[in-house]
Amino acid sequence: MGELKWEDAFLNVNCLQIMYYLAKYNPSIEAAKIAEKFKMSPEEVEEKLVKLAGLKIVDYEKNKGYTLTDKGMMSLYNFHTNYNSR
């Protein structure tokens, strides 16, 4: 498992799906529920979430799950705004 670079997080469709889902619903959610929602393997989702957490885009709280951080929300907003202005 290689380290995820900041820009790669926004070029990876699975990472983007996870970030948009967390942004829209902002749940504290377990990786298995995200995997079920997007028909991905739990291992793949967990791998992406751990990498996103390493970039401080998502946060993990034991017994609560994953949430999008303020930094993650702002980064996703900037990505979305810049992508749509092309």
Domains of the chain: 6-84 (1.10.10.10)
In this prediction the pTM is: 0.83
Contacts of 64 by beta carbon, 8 Å cutoff, 6+ apart: 28
Structure tokens belonging to residue 40: 């991905």
Instruction: Grade residue 86 by pLDDT with cuts at 50, 70 and 90.
Output: low
pLDDT at 39: 93
pLDDT at 52: 94
